[in-house]
Amino acid sequence: MTDILSALNWRYACKVFDPAKKIPADIWAQLEQSLILTPSSFGLQPWKFIIIQDQELREKLVPNAWNQHQVADCSHLVVMTVPKALSVDYVDANIARMVEVRGGSADSLHSFRDMVLGFRLGLEAKGGLEQWAKLQSYIALGQFMFAASQLGLDTCPMEGFVTAKFDEILGLEKDGLTTAVLCPVGYRSSDDRYAGLPKVRFEAKDVIEHR
Amino acid sequence: MTDILSALNWRYACKVFDPAKKIPADIWAQLEQSLILTPSSFGLQPWKFIIIQDQELREKLVPNAWNQHQVADCSHLVVMTVPKALSVDYVDANIARMVEVRGGSADSLHSFRDMVLGFRLGLEAKGGLEQWAKLQSYIALGQFMFAASQLGLDTCPMEGFVTAKFDEILGLEKDGLTTAVLCPVGYRSSDDRYAGLPKVRFEAKDVIEHR
Is A49 near chain B, with CB under 8 Å?
A: yes
- pLDDT score of A79: 98
Q: How far apart are CA B56 and CA B78, in angstroms?
A: 15
What mean pLDDT do residues B172-192 have? 97
Domains and CATH numbers, chain A: 4-85+134-189 (3.40.109.10)
The answer on pLDDT for A123 being more than 90 is no
Contacts of A204 in chain B (CB under 8 A): 32-33, 36
Concatenated DSSP letters of B17-74 = B-TT----HHHHHHHHHHHHT---GGG----EEEEE--HHHHHHHGGGTTT-THHHHS
C-alpha R_g of chain B: 19
Closest CB to A37: pick one of B8, B48, B152. B8
A91-128 as b/e, with b when 16 or more CB fall inside 10 Å? beebbebbbeeeeeeeeebeebbeebeebbeebeeeee
Is B49 near chain A, with CB under 8 Å?
A: yes
From the list A153, A158, A163, the residue with the least C-alpha distance to A188 is A153
Cβ count within 10 A of residue A138: 23
Contacts of A170 in chain B (CB under 8 A): 211
- pLDDT score of B124: 79
What mean pLDDT do residues B38-44 have? 96
**CA distances, A122 to each of A32, A82, A125, B35, B144 (Å):** 32, 19, 5, 31, 28
Q: Which helix (H) or strand (E) holds A16?
A: none
Chain A residue with CA closest to B135: the answer is A135
**CA distances, A129 to each of A113, A117, A181, B51 (Å):** 17, 12, 16, 29
From the list A148, A37, A1, the residue with the least C-alpha distance to B151 is A1
Tell me which long-range contacts B189-197 makes (C-beta under 8 A, separation of at least 24): B189/B16, B189/B17, B189/B18, B189/B73, B190/B18, B191/B16, B192/B14, B192/B15, B192/B16, B194/B12, B194/B13, B194/B14, B194/B15, B194/B16, B195/B12, B195/B14, B197/A102, B197/B12
HSE-CB of B163 using CA atoms within 13 angstroms? 12
C-alpha R_g of chain A: 19
Closest CB to A209: pick one of B50, B142, B200. B50
Kindly report, residue by residue over A136-162, the tens digit of the pLDDT. Answer: 999 999 999 999 999 999 999 999 999
Q: How far apart are CA A45 and CA A38, in angstroms?
A: 8
Q: Which helix (H) or strand (E) holds A130?
A: helix A129-150
Point out the least confidently predicted range of B84-88, B147-151, B154-158.
Answer: B84-88
User: What confidence category does residue B115 fall into, taking pLDDT thresholds of 50, 70 and 90?
Assistant: very high
Sign of CA dihedral A145, A148, A150, A153: negative
User: Predicted ipTM?
Assistant: 0.96
- Cut 0.80: pTM above it: yes
What mean pLDDT do residues A171-178 have? 96
Chain A residue with CA closest to B203: the answer is A36
- pLDDT score of B1: 39
